[in-house]
Chain A
Amino acid sequence: MLKYTVRRLIQGIPTFFGITVLSYMLMLAAPGNPIELLTFDPNISVEAREKLAIQAGLNDPWPLQYLTWLIGNDWRPVDMNANGVLEEGEYGVRQGILRGDFGRSFFYKRAAITVIGDRIPATLELGVAALITSLVLGIPIGVIAAIRRGGIFDNFSRVMAVVFNAVPSFWLGIMMILFFGSILGLLPMNGRCGTVLVGGCPPLYARLEYLIMPTFVLAAGGIAGYSRYMRTSMLETISRDYIRTAHAKGLPGRTVWFKHAARNAMIPIATFLGPALTGLWGGAVITERVFGWPGVGRLAVEAVTQRDYPVVMAIVILGAVSTIIGYIVSDILYALIDPRIRFS
């Protein structure tokens, strides 16, 4: 299995580079640039703007910008003070992502990796809570719907699945905020922690109420999706001979459904788990914005709007790596769960 994992990881390297080249090109091809946006101010002279663009390396051709991003520019002379003259010993200061330097955010004026690092705990917190919620609710709903096929519960869950899949999450979020936050005053409407002068954010258990609404909104699609997948998979499984045999052997219904059928029906779900990890980043973009959740998703939207290239690229890498790893984990899980599949 170790050999298999290592091989898959090595296979992931060209994919990773492919993603970065494409993303970098697309990002630079998008109109506008960060300096134009940061200095859209008539007070700021053309020369001052030009200087900032040179310092940021934005006037370099894109392959050079990509190369700088990848391997840095501390090995070549760079006009760091943008005075038009390359002075002796005037080298770049960037080390490139291959040496762990993801560049400096144009907007936040600090290392892109620090900016993202500040946000990752919040996104993970929300993402994991949403994933657990969607699995814990989605799978049993699917199993019960399959067992009670054609019944009220099955029809109800089907309707609800369509509704939750169809409702845009920003709308669901705003409605929940208005109802549970504003009208009923039951849940906090914004943010991840209480508003206190000093003392930081308390531990998770002391602020669970902040997690409820965003988790539900982020998990809504997942609950709907998993319940439908699980129902289909379960229906397929319970029509198998071994289930009929189990019934024929006189095993109690509950044992057959949950011990024999559900466990086997969950195998296809494992394949969804890997991509689900990536999906959580994607879904969080909207949910985090609506609830003012201080996570990576919200940062991603802001960074794209502000053309904050280093932050955008760092988030792309985060997404690319989690996707690649997600698929590998998914394949490994599949092989672990289903003895018919072997690592080869």
Chain B
Amino acid sequence: MRKLSAIVLLVVAALVLSVLALPAAAQDEGGPGEGGIIIESNFGGDIATLNPIIISDASSSAVAGFLYPGIIGLDPETQNAAPNVAGALATGWEYDETGTVLTIYLRDDAFWNDGTPITAADYLYAAEAIKSGETDSARTYVFDSIESIEAPDDYTVVVTFKEFNCRSFNDVNDIPVVPAHIFSEVFETYADMNEDVDYNLNPTVTFGPFAFGEYRPAEQVSLVADQSYPDTILGYVSPAGWIYKNVADQTVEIELLLAGEINVVAGVTPERQQDMRDNADIQTFDYPANGYTYMGFNLADPTNPQDGLDEDGNPIDQGNHPLFGDVRVRQAIAMGVDVASMVDATLFGEGVQIATNAIPTSWAYDDSIEPWPFDPEAAAALLEEAGWIDEDGDGVRECRGCLYAEEGAPAEFELLTNAGNTTRERIGEIIQSQLADLGIKVNFNAIDFNILVQTLLGQEFDAIIIGWSLGLPDDPDGTAFYGPENDLVGSGFNFVSMNNEELNRLYNEAAHVPGCDQDARAELYIEANRLLRNELPYLYLYSANAQYAVRAEVEGFDPFPSFLYWNIDAWRVISAE
């Protein structure tokens, strides 16, 4: 009997031990480079180059982001510039009393993976290359605000700006850090970067959780774990590597994820987001995308496009758009379009209506600024007040004492968007139908993106549906879109010809707040946004939800909005075995 009890005890003990041992095996921490391969689909087209000085496309930037340090890091949680961020160099910075000299202090414990220390010279090399104008880098604009960059010692960078402007700070981070000792060897002159140099697609000396693996044109780019990277969370880089796999179709992209052939999709389309949330094999993270969609109104006469300012900076008479020149018409349109239903109908509810150009994640967002309510009756009354009345009963209003159109002219305009973007095409149809109910005839056309860009910059349009993707760190300034100095026919981005003195004053003041205090600046931007909400150079529509979808077997997935991979060195793909 005692023997039997002993056997039973042993069996029970063995069972308990085995049960305890199971989770231990499942929680095996792995080791350096043993965390599997992260495979992300790349729907954005093949990479062009991995030389950060000349990169201008999003796919290349996504890959190069793993290979080179930034001068000043962004805190993934706040999305603001911060000292001592993993993968970046700045340990701190300070302005002089004039606000035009920025001194950046660099860490001295960062090394390229060939053992060479990363110093100020690596930043200066890239700055000089961009400044030379010999490369076809599009970043020469940084020297519109930067006067000079110097390095008093290996770990200090002094940036002198032409004038004090809080917006100039972001230009500092648009200059990359590259291994100068290698680049100066590989590229005899800066102009050589434009040539067919193998190094542009085969960088050997890098700094980041991954080093370059291989590039298969139009198929994939692979990066392999680089254990020399010092800023890891676990003390080592867990994944064996990261692959950016080209996928030409978004339907196929999701099928590949479901089949486990890839394990990350960084931009799930709105119609598939709920499917992904409901799927037990997939973990998701939803966030408001860093961008918005809008309907832009041409406020000036589209038959005679003029720049906003003359050479001396004086306003040029640009005429008025027959319909949109009158703010009451724009406000009536804002009340005549049901944006909330539009979000449901076109984005399956995966988006938020916005009132201004500040999206909910912006530091200049204020939820007390509300979008225009959907109120067709108030809209109709406002149109009547503005002198747009349907006297002949044909369903389209005519100008009867309106401000800028000829007497009797119908309330009619052309609305454009880019063909192939089905969401925008659907929005155009909704606006067309809802404004028809209001007595405004909309001729809606979806056209080739190239033609759209040309028409847009040429300022020959009436209204347009398009979107802006915003950069990081967040910059709420809207001078590029609404400043008269950027109202340049054929090239400026203030193609709606907005020129509002109060708005210009607010932007100018916000850019020159002493010490660039963010709270003080935010107050001014919020005031500017309130003005934009009422003046409506754009009818701000929505910010769509973005979604990261990652296979359930990937451990460590813990993103912030727009920062999917901030902790990728600690990710691990648990194998099915």
* The residue from A83, A178, A201 contacting B219, defined by CB atoms under 8 A apart: A201
* The residue from B216, B240, B255, B493 contacting A200, defined by CB atoms under 8 A apart: B216
- Counting chain B CB atoms within 10 Å of each CB, which of A56, A182, A188 scores highest? A182
Closest residue of chain A to B171 (Cβ to Cβ) is A43
Bitwise, A1-44 to B at CB < 8 A (1) or not (0) is 00000000000000000000000000000111100111111111
- Counting chain B CB atoms within 10 Å of each CB, which of A42, A83, A291 scores highest? A42
For residue A33, which residues in chain B have a CB less than 8 angstroms away from its CB?
450
| A114–B198 CA distance with the chains assembled, in angstroms | 11
Bitwise, A34-62 to B at CB < 8 A (1) or not (0) is 00111111111111111110011000000
B450 touches A30 (CB 8 A): yes
For residue A335, which residues in chain B have a CB less than 8 angstroms away from its CB?
none
CB contact under 8 A between A52 and B138, given known A31-B451, A32-B454, A109-B194: yes
**Closest-CB distance, B307 to chain A (whole angstroms):** 11
CB contact under 8 A between A298 and B136, given known A104-B194, A292-B249: no
A299 at the interface (CB under 8 A from B): yes
For residue B224, which residues in chain A have a CB less than 8 angstroms away from its CB?
197-198
Bitwise, B129-159 to A at CB < 8 A (1) or not (0) is 0001110101111001000000000000000
Closest residue of chain A to B255 (Cβ to Cβ) is A182
A294 touches B49 (CB 8 A): no
For residue B45, which residues in chain A have a CB less than 8 angstroms away from its CB?
302
CB contact under 8 A between A294 and B194, given known A107-B57, A109-B54: no
For residue B457, which residues in chain A have a CB less than 8 angstroms away from its CB?
36
A43 touches B49 (CB 8 A): no
CB contact under 8 A between A294 and B141, given known A108-B49, A197-B37: no
B481 touches A42 (CB 8 A): yes
A118 touches B218 (CB 8 A): yes
In chain B between 502 and 531, which residues have their CB closer than 8 angstroms to a CB of chain A?
none
* The residue from A43, A83, A307 contacting B141, defined by CB atoms under 8 A apart: A43
Bitwise, A89-107 to B at CB < 8 A (1) or not (0) is 0000000000000001001
B217 touches A294 (CB 8 A): yes
B450 touches A307 (CB 8 A): yes
A108 touches B255 (CB 8 A): no
Closest residue of chain B to A110 (Cβ to Cβ) is B196
A42 touches B247 (CB 8 A): no
B252 touches A51 (CB 8 A): no
| A37–B454 CA distance with the chains assembled, in angstroms | 10
B49 touches A110 (CB 8 A): yes
B16 at the interface (CB under 8 A from A): no
B454 touches A299 (CB 8 A): no
Closest residue of chain A to B455 (Cβ to Cβ) is A31
A195 touches B245 (CB 8 A): yes
Bitwise, A123-162 to B at CB < 8 A (1) or not (0) is 0000000000000000000000000000000000000000
Instruction: Bin chain A's interface residue count.
Output: 35 or more
For residue B218, which residues in chain A have a CB less than 8 angstroms away from its CB?
118-119, 122, 294-295, 298-299
* The residue from A44, A56, A177, A305 contacting B255, defined by CB atoms under 8 A apart: A177
**Closest-CB distance, A306 to chain B (whole angstroms):** 9
For residue A42, which residues in chain B have a CB less than 8 angstroms away from its CB?
468, 480-481, 486, 493
A181 at the interface (CB under 8 A from B): yes
| A242–B189 CA distance with the chains assembled, in angstroms | 75
| A119–B259 CA distance with the chains assembled, in angstroms | 27
B219 touches A192 (CB 8 A): yes
B249 touches A197 (CB 8 A): no
For residue A189, which residues in chain B have a CB less than 8 angstroms away from its CB?
252, 255-256, 259, 261
For residue A119, which residues in chain B have a CB less than 8 angstroms away from its CB?
217-218
B245 touches A191 (CB 8 A): yes
For residue B481, which residues in chain A have a CB less than 8 angstroms away from its CB?
42
| A36–B457 CA distance with the chains assembled, in angstroms | 9
CB contact under 8 A between A294 and B246, given known A109-B194, A198-B213: yes
For residue A181, which residues in chain B have a CB less than 8 angstroms away from its CB?
255, 259
B402 at the interface (CB under 8 A from A): no
A81 at the interface (CB under 8 A from B): yes
For residue B449, which residues in chain A have a CB less than 8 angstroms away from its CB?
32, 37, 305
For residue B246, which residues in chain A have a CB less than 8 angstroms away from its CB?
191, 292, 294
A45 touches B141 (CB 8 A): yes
| A115–B47 CA distance with the chains assembled, in angstroms | 11
Bitwise, B187-219 to A at CB < 8 A (1) or not (0) is 000010011100011000000000001101111
B219 touches A193 (CB 8 A): yes
A48 touches B249 (CB 8 A): no
A228 at the interface (CB under 8 A from B): no
A111 at the interface (CB under 8 A from B): yes
A32 touches B453 (CB 8 A): yes
CB contact under 8 A between A82 and B133, given known A195-B39, A197-B37, A294-B218: yes
B500 at the interface (CB under 8 A from A): no
| A107–B454 CA distance with the chains assembled, in angstroms | 19
Q: List 16 A-B contacts (CB under 8 A).
A: A32-B450, A32-B451, A38-B57, A45-B141, A48-B139, A48-B140, A181-B255, A189-B261, A191-B219, A196-B222, A197-B222, A201-B216, A201-B219, A292-B247, A298-B218, A305-B450
Closest 10 CB pairs of A and B: A32-B450, A294-B218, A42-B480, A118-B217, A45-B141, A31-B451, A292-B248, A42-B493, A182-B255, A197-B241
User: Given known contacts A48-B138, A107-B57, A191-B220, what 4 new A-B pairs fall within 8 Å (CB)?
Assistant: A43-B471, A43-B480, A110-B196, A190-B256
Q: Which residues of B contact A (CB under 8 A)?
A: 37, 39, 45-46, 48-49, 54, 56-57, 132-134, 136, 138-141, 144, 174, 191, 194-196, 200-201, 213-214, 216-220, 222, 224, 240-241, 243, 245-249, 251-252, 255-256, 258-259, 261-262, 448-451, 453-454, 457, 468, 471, 480-481, 486, 488, 491-493
Q: Which residues of A contact B (CB under 8 A)?
A: 30-33, 36-52, 55-56, 80-83, 104, 107-111, 114-115, 118-119, 122, 174, 177-178, 181-182, 185, 188-193, 195-201, 288-292, 294-295, 298-299, 302, 305, 307
